[in-house]
Structure 1
Amino acid sequence: MGFQIDFISAKGSFFSKNLNRKVVFRFVAPGNYRQSERPFPVLLMNDGQDYAAMNLEKTLTEAFDDKDIKPFCYVGISCNDNRINEYGTAGIPDFKNRGNKAKEYSKFIIEEFIPFLKLEFKLSKKQADWVFCGMSLGGLSALDIVYNHPAHFAKVGVFSGSFWWRKKAYIKGDTLDRSRIILDVIKNRSYVAGQKFWFQCGTADEAADRNNNGIIDAIDDTLDVIKELEKKGYSYPGDITYLEINGGKHDLPTWGTVFPEFLKWAFKQ
């Protein structure tokens, strides 16, 4: 009696010389992965340990069955207890020296992990087929890596990004607030055609409003990142997509609920 394979899933580990540790990852592919003669587009995700908490098995299974979504493979990269130092902006720790291993993490992704994935799995070699995403600090990390390595990624998705990451503590009344590191990361690189950006925030992401303008910091910071990208030549809407969830929180259930919409953007037929 015949049966249908909905998806293929495997967990493994990869030793990174840059991080000097074993990195655990999860690989998920459509049920026809073995039979396919074509390589698959790829979604990398920071904080892959949250796969179950975000209900991604159900989300990916439904996406693989959606004719409006290109077949793709998911790779979730688990963090360890050094997350606060490995995620961030490469080579630019924040004012508390958090993110001091972000450069090594970036080198792990670009120099070690992507070549390994392309060698071991049936994955596309084309930059246009590679997407990276992350949540919170993992979202900041994903944007930093994608933006600084446009030859490797075409799209990035950021859920409630930690764009408050800064070179110095916030000073009350600082209207420009240029100490947020990601703004200068964007400013200091030239425009690269073809890259796409997807951002999500929730109106209940937090309660903080440091400049007292009636808009929570998470939304303010994300909108400022979008403005900085616009200055570089990226169109909004167009190259940039922004989704604001009324009542959305800074938590895994919110991000898991939004994930199907992100996948439709990332791998639209």
Structure 2
Amino acid sequence: MMIRGLKISTHTLKSTPLKRPVEYVVYMPAGISGNIPMNLLLLNDGQDAEGLQLKETLEDLYATQRIDPLVLVAIKCSDDRMNEYGVAGRPDFQNRGSKADLYSRFIITELLPQLEKKLNLKNKAKVGFAGFSLGGLSAFDIAWHHSQIFDVVGAFSASFWWRTRDLSDGYVPEDRIMHQVIRETGHKPELKVWLMTGTEDETEDRNQNFIIDSIDDTIDIIKELMDKGYSRPDEVFYYEMVGGRHEVPCWAKALPAFLCWAFPRTAVF
């Protein structure tokens, strides 16, 4: 069965915990039967949809039959992004991420139920969450803590440097918050993880090992996951983009690789 283009629609949901309206854009495949299981992907920083080339990427992947049917929901952030994104209940050393628990509650208790009702997504296949930079940290945190809901997470140049102590206050690697969360989790969540960094994400090298911090922090996330019993590449996949910068155009180039890994074409439809 061929997917004949996309149905794109914009919606607004008034969030109680966030105390603001949240706008999101839905990209739905057209021309497929309603009884076919549909994948769902939530995407942080949906305001960057045009720069990420979401429409063009999805159309190309469907035309070349590389991914299964996917409902992609691009969630636009607010001006309070630095507080709403982060690790729930664990702000960083400047108290950034102080509303991350409220954003997580919005996703789980408000957005997902509305999507199931509005888009008739009761017959879901896989559910994923993805994001970029601080939005990648947010997606990882929410998926990690709700692995009973999410099957896969994608974190592009994620802010895994998020820490409880500043470099000038005696920082040690153990101060990185998401690494702490993984270590403290008493079980292995059933979650597939896709991680990406660019070799030119930044120039900072706090431990002077000639590897930029974004790569160091992501590699250390992989080590924490491996210590939890995860395997590579089936459960944890790492993509390092040579020359990749910390910017939307680079993440746009990496996005098809993630989508094909997370939602590969099968023979069931």
**Superposed displacement of residue 6, structure 1:** 1.1
Q: Which residue of 1 aligns with 2:6?
A: 7
1:161-193 Cα distance to aligned partner (Å, 9 max, x none)? 00010011125986x510000011111213336
Change in CA separation of 1:226 and 1:54 when aligned onto 2, cut-off 3 Å: same
SS in 1 for 2:174: coil
**Superposed displacement of residue 22, structure 1:** 0.2
Q: Aligned pair 1:200/2:196, yes or no? A: yes
**Superposed displacement of residue 5, structure 1:** 4.3
Q: Contact between 1:42 and 1:130, CA under 8 Å: does it hold in 2?
A: yes
- For residues 124 and 267 of structure 1, the distance between their equivalents in structure 2, rounded to whole angstroms, comes to 18
Change in CA separation of 1:199 and 1:66 when aligned onto 2, cut-off 3 Å: same
Q: TM-score, normalised by structure 2?
A: 0.93
> Which of 38, 41, 56 pairs up with 2:39?
41
1:121-145 Cα distance to aligned partner (Å, 9 max, x none)? 132555x610000000000000000
> Which of 163, 171, 183 pairs up with 2:160?
163
Q: Contact between 2:35 and 2:123, CA under 8 Å: does it hold in 1?
A: no
Residues paired across the two proteins, number: 263
Q: Which residue of 2 aligns with 1:70?
A: 68
For structure 2, which runs of at least 5 residues remain unmatched after alignment?
none
> Which of 77, 80, 84 pairs up with 1:86?
84
Q: Aligned pair 1:258/2:254, yes or no? A: yes
SS in 2 for 1:203: strand
SS in 2 for 1:209: coil
Q: Contact between 2:36 and 2:123, CA under 8 Å: does it hold in 1?
A: no
- For residues 194 and 167 of structure 1, the distance between their equivalents in structure 2, rounded to whole angstroms, comes to 27
> Which of 219, 241, 244 pairs up with 1:245?
241
1:74-100 Cα distance to aligned partner (Å, 9 max, x none)? 000000100000000000000100000
Q: 1:100 is matched by which residue type in structure 2?
A: S
For structure 1, which runs of at least 5 residues remain unmatched after alignment?
none
- For residues 10 and 66 of structure 1, the distance between their equivalents in structure 2, rounded to whole angstroms, comes to 23
- For residues 109 and 245 of structure 1, the distance between their equivalents in structure 2, rounded to whole angstroms, comes to 30
Greater displacement, 129-138 / 111-120: 111-120
Q: Which residue of 1 aligns with 2:181?
A: 185
**Superposed displacement of residue 38, structure 1:** 2.3
- For residues 78 and 45 of structure 1, the distance between their equivalents in structure 2, rounded to whole angstroms, comes to 9
Greater displacement, 91-100 / 116-125: 116-125
- For residues 116 and 249 of structure 1, the distance between their equivalents in structure 2, rounded to whole angstroms, comes to 35
Q: Contact between 1:13 and 1:24, CA under 8 Å: does it hold in 2?
A: yes
- For residues 125 and 54 of structure 1, the distance between their equivalents in structure 2, rounded to whole angstroms, comes to 28
Q: 2:12 is matched by which residue type in structure 1?
A: S
Query: What is the root-mean-square deviation in Å for CA atoms of aligned residues?
Result: 1.7
- Give the ranges of 4+ consecutive aligned residues of structure 1 lying more than 4 Å apart after TM superposition: 171-174
Q: Contact between 2:147 and 2:189, CA under 8 Å: does it hold in 1?
A: no
Change in CA separation of 1:94 and 1:172 when aligned onto 2, cut-off 3 Å: closer
Q: 1:102 is matched by which residue type in structure 2?
A: A
- For residues 252 and 52 of structure 1, the distance between their equivalents in structure 2, rounded to whole angstroms, comes to 10
1:22-61 map, 5 Å: 22-33=21-32, 35-61=33-59
SS in 2 for 1:129: strand
Q: 2:50 is matched by which residue type in structure 1?
A: A
Q: TM-score, normalised by structure 1?
A: 0.93
- For residues 12 and 193 of structure 1, the distance between their equivalents in structure 2, rounded to whole angstroms, comes to 31
- For residues 234 and 89 of structure 1, the distance between their equivalents in structure 2, rounded to whole angstroms, comes to 21
Q: Contact between 2:144 and 2:189, CA under 8 Å: does it hold in 1?
A: no
Q: Which residue of 1 aligns with 2:208?
A: 212
